[in-house]
Amino acid sequence: MKKRTLMIVLMLSVVHFALSAYFGIVILGSTPHVPDSAVYYRQGILLIQGRLFIGNFSREPREAFHLIGSFVKNGNFYFQYNHFWPLLLALPIRLHFAQFFSPLLSAISLILVYLIATKLYDQKSGCIAALFYCVSPLTIILAGDYMTHTATQLFLLAGIYFGLMYVEDPRVWAAFFSGIFLGYAFGLRQLTAIAVAFPVVVYAILFHRKQILKIRAVFFIIGSLIMFVLFLADNYVVNGSAIKVINPIQSSPTYSIISVKNLPIGINIGDSTLAFLPPIIFHNFFPVLFFALVFIPPIVYRKREDFLLLLIFFSLFILYMFTGAMGTHGYGPRYLFEALFALFILASRGVIWVYDQVRGARRIALLLFFAAMLIYNSIGLYTILPMYKNYNLIPSDLVGELRKLDLANSIIIIGQSPHWFNDGITATLYDPNYEKSFFIKELPNKEHEKILGQYPNKTVYMLANNQISLYEWNNSKSHES
């Protein structure tokens, strides 16, 4: 039974990997479609060269080189985020595997959801939870872009799983790896890691004091501290202060607005977020059934594990209410994503309870109903995923057109646009040395032309209005290439 169940879960992980890779490659064109993703990708490219920043950046006018999330401080060129995610992304970029990396992490997360559910309950619960994870649009969508959410979820799940292993059999290595993984999740997304880990730590202290009080549990703290020290060091490099988490160019950083004063706004945002959450978890009316299943275990079984999972989700939800931000955009309520695994596991328990309540023909009818819902959601995926083609007005096909140019001997001017992350199209082609590719931004009063005069042998193009055109800067005339 265990071997057969594990094979089903492995098959589900392969299906999920394929769906996520399809979304990222075919729909998004392996191109960052949100500004955060563009910044992370460029940081990954910089790390490949062994650099955290570009030292002694003296190119003028500097404004032309200020792409999304970049800034110059003390003559050095930085990007605004810490390096925990770009560090993971760097090697896949180097190996031309980046477009498959987040789908791979998500597929591993699916397996971890199964393992955690099995530890807390049984294999059936784990298998059904893995199925929910596999076909949820939000898990597929976030795994298709280059944001931090899928990676943060993976490290949280790994930290929780190794923590459960330690509770079951107190081993030094289990405690150490639990601390390392939870610490890395903190490096990726601080508020999310705190919100998800807090109920787990409280649960462990309340119900597993014997294991927690063992001397070997100190290795959990050691693992966490290693990651925390690295986090502080990285803050110092980027921000000039170890304890300053925010970046210097962010006008309203989330981390500076955690306050009770934000709660009235946060409640309103939270209400609309919950309204948006169901249809992006599953298609159409299926979410109503899903959330009904989620609340069955705490009401019927009332096991402490049921309440733990429920608290994990609401801990994350409530903490972000104090920031007045829920991160909801076209991809969905992404700030709540890392806690959805708890709902998948609870819903799986709800399915098992409903199944146990019926017999004979009713049970067959129930199985047919669930199968119909699964097929319905699959049809929904076929409808939902292609809708993200050119999401955020970033035409993925344009990256292919750029690659056809002789980029090593060209300068590409990114045209001014009211769309504030238009330069995300060029993120995967970024070259910090401006040798393989040379991208600059169009400046008012044609100030960018001061740069063109320094490279008379390069062909100049304008990237604007979803078109690439030759830029004849001597007479300010352009025509399509």
pLDDT tens sequence across 245-266:
755 444 444 444 677 777 777 7
pLDDT tens sequence across 379-412:
888 888 998 998 888 887 888 899 999 999 999 9
Entry pTM: 0.92
User: What's the distance, CA 70 to chain centroid?
Assistant: 20
In terms of residues, how long is the chain?
A: 481
* Cis check: omega of the bond before 170, within 30 degrees of 0: no
pLDDT tens sequence across 56-83:
888 888 889 988 888 888 888 889 899 9
pLDDT tens sequence across 316-357:
999 988 887 777 777 888 899 999 999 999 999 999 999 999
Name 76's bridge partners.
73
Name 147's bridge partners.
none
Q: Per-residue confidence at 147, pLDDT binned at 50, 70, 90?
A: very high
Beta carbons of 89 and 109 less than 8 angstroms apart = no
For 21, 115, 134, 208, the CA distances from 121, given in Å and listed in that order, are 31, 10, 19, 17
